[in-house]
Structure 1
């Protein structure tokens, strides 16, 4: 057994977890609220904030003023105690709340941020909780790959502690969502599989199922009967006798399904009308059952109206998602245009090399990393005469040729920029001064081999190079030292 992890709920937070698993969400919320006020342990207080947030979200409180206040307090608590598992759990719950109020983009961002944070957490009960809640939020968003990943991570994080989360809620949501989008056969197949688990549970052959999860298996078997299936077990045998009725949104719907199957569809309409949905899937499921009940009662007009409303509510988030995708496409198009401007701002238009601004940014970056580097400032010999005798067009052609030859002579990974006029700067990282001089010799030799007659020049173009180390004094000092070394070389005519 691994050593206790600091992220594992202990003491009163362990009691909160047991209350949540038992479906006693109101009791859990009340106790968590007390802990957020009176606990002197910042770790325990942060966990209590997250338990309170999770309980209120499951009770369908997202969008209320109280929930917004609790969300802000949880955010502050996690910022003060930013363990990766806590950060991931916060994003999972905030994402679920965002989805509940139709903020699809925010929900997706929270889910992605939560998965990134939780991936940095050590295996623990708290980490498993975060992964499981991230799977739930990703499932509501239809992010199937992320659901699979998060569930695997939840099992991996929780198994060393003997914690194995059942995925009954996730399976049920996936099944009824298939029915909502018109794939009733897929829904029936998944409900049949869950009904098989229900039979095993009733027979005592399925261990480790939390009381809260039993309710989802019970509803799956009842829902299967409405689609004409035979679950082989009475759903009422699976439904736990919870003290907290509000924590189980599917208890009433289980009775609705049984009444429809028993031929009493009109009896359930008042109960459906009075049921307050806790999230979008639950809301659409209520409308779908209303449609099935009215159809069973022979009211086809009413059934069609309920079905249309169910489809409208089910597709509404995906309409928002399509708008989000359209906006993202517009952003990418705008970003491509802006990137061209940004690239142009950092590129010398004549040679295609990085310009002085780009060079300065690169030197600052290398200096900030305290990476060893040698700076070489290169100046063409007698370039003014080229412009004077052959014109500026010839001068531009020479500069372009010089840039190509020098760039080809540097090592892979070296950086070359046009500094201005007929000056170039090379930046050689992780090298020695002797190696830099070897590069300079290679550049000079390459220029000497060039056929300058192609450009109607009477004499070859030479270059003078001065080298200096990029030290703690910064890029400006290195460039100044390289400039002095270059003029010393030019005066001595070594190049």
Structure 2
């Protein structure tokens, strides 16, 4: 630990000025002053005290998400988790995992997204959390659930956020989240439950009217006012046109400076055109609309197109658009089924791995990330094998292009890839074979009493199994493969792991340089 000039340990509590700045960042995010929030978050991201570092990096990550600066997501997520190592507080863990879930979803990795959602919920449920960070953690988790289509979980999480906020005296207006119910409503409509959609939209309109009458609406976030406006005009597009006499959605839709607010304005104009009898204008607007799937679901544009075509009397076009809306709205359900099956397979891999390495389970002999034996235990194992006159084929397994995984998707994703590869290696090994993590992205397999021909058959199985994993669900756009080099140990030849590793490593590098037969 470093100390100040007078010998005192540095404070781990932020100063009043820093506390003021952190509170200001939260308010900037609330008011859609995202660029300002990003600047202050960056300014405090390397502060001396660990709590400030964590909070500043959380705010910076939230700002980057709001600005849709996706090329910076991976580094920002890694930086936030790095800061948490020095200040491992559950509420903050929950918030970072919730934000990381959104980044994973935007990269198309439903696997990592769900992983983060579950970890966020676990962290927030770990203890009774009664501070602002916990309240906002539940809020962020609710939003992440909603973006990714887990609407029931989203409603439960936002209710928990409100409970924590009420317990510590945070303004109730800060936790008004019509966007969560709005995404539920349009999701119901896109999947064919228009009656259910109308019920939720009517509730939102009544809520908006009550807040207008009380003056509370002016205190809510700009994006929330835009959500209320879209709820009203969307209800009108479904045929409930008198809502436009009760509430004018247009000034509400003008609120908000975020990308989501822009999306709602574009969709709202199309809905308004449908509602007032100008469906051809609506079709034209929808043809040029570029809208994020997160805002109102992937099926929203085709669903509105279907409503517009019905109004023009083109029922064939309406039917085709409605089918498209249902298809894209249901796509994540199919992906979740696949993810469930992959998850069961991965869990079985982990269970088998834990059984296989249970006898190595102590800190000195085990790699903490994968649960595999480490280099130290490998050396002991080989020394014992050779000492008893045994022999084996040693293989160095190196992941191809692994650096790109860390660069594009972040180190946390890289860790998950390594854990998955460890499970795959364990799955294809024969009884009596030995698997260890040597370091970095390199694994070692040891095949006792095995010929070269048998080793190459094992190699074929390993390469096929790794390539056969659904990496697109975990690290989209970054294929994972593996290259192996071999060396014989024992039998009067090499006796030390380091020597055998060097020989096998050279063979592996030569194999990388040789194009594989397709």
Q: Report the TM-score, using the length of structure 1 for normalisation.
A: 0.60
Cα 1:32/1:295, change in 2 over 3 Å: farther
- Offset at 1:7? 13
Q: Where in structure 2 are the equivalents of 1:266-415 lying within 5 Å?
A: 266-280=280-294, 281-330=296-345
3-state secondary structure, aligned to 2:299: helix
For 1:203 and 1:154, how far apart are their aligned partners in 2?
25
Partner of 2:411: none
- Offset at 1:176? 0.8
3-state secondary structure, aligned to 2:322: helix
For 1:44 and 1:121, how far apart are their aligned partners in 2?
22
For 1:7 and 1:180, how far apart are their aligned partners in 2?
50
Partner of 1:49: 57
Give ranges in structure 1 of 5+ residues lacking alignment.
347-356, 362-495
Cα distance per residue 1:215-252 (max 9 Å; x no partner): 11111011000111132211124345445566553122
The answer to whether residue 171 in structure 2 is matched with residue 163 in structure 1 is yes
The answer to whether residue 97 in structure 2 is matched with residue 84 in structure 1 is no
For 2:92 and 2:163, how far apart are their aligned partners in 1?
17
Aligned residues of 1:202 and 1:238 also touching (Cα < 8 A): no
For 2:317 and 2:108, how far apart are their aligned partners in 1?
27
Poorly superposed stretches of 4+, deviation over 6 Å: 5-9, 332-336
Partner of 1:179: 189
Aligned residues of 1:42 and 1:81 also touching (Cα < 8 A): yes
Aligned residues of 1:46 and 1:74 also touching (Cα < 8 A): yes
Cα 1:333/1:176, change in 2 over 3 Å: same
Give ranges in structure 2 of 5+ residues lacking alignment.
1-12, 363-518
Q: Match for 1:238 among 247, 252, 272? A: 252
For 1:123 and 1:248, how far apart are their aligned partners in 2?
35
Aligned residues of 1:215 and 1:248 also touching (Cα < 8 A): no
- Offset at 1:32? 2.9
Cα distance per residue 1:158-178 (max 9 Å; x no partner): 121323211311111111111
Aligned residues of 1:57 and 1:97 also touching (Cα < 8 A): yes
Cα distance per residue 1:320-358 (max 9 Å; x no partner): 11112223445567788x59x959x99xxxxxxxxxx8x
- Offset at 1:192? 0.6
Cα distance per residue 1:445-489 (max 9 Å; x no partner): xxxxxxxxxxxxxxxxxxxxxxxxxxxxxxxxxxxxxxxxxxxxx
Structure with max Cα Rg: 1
Partner of 1:14: 23
- Offset at 1:144? 5.1
- Offset at 1:113? 0.8
For 1:145 and 1:246, how far apart are their aligned partners in 2?
21
Partner of 1:139: 146
3-state secondary structure, aligned to 1:51: helix
Partner of 2:32: 23
Q: Between Structure 1 and Structure 2, how many residues are aligned?
A: 340
For 1:46 and 1:40, how far apart are their aligned partners in 2?
11
Partner of 2:430: none
Q: Alpha carbon RMSD of aligned pairs, Å?
A: 3.4
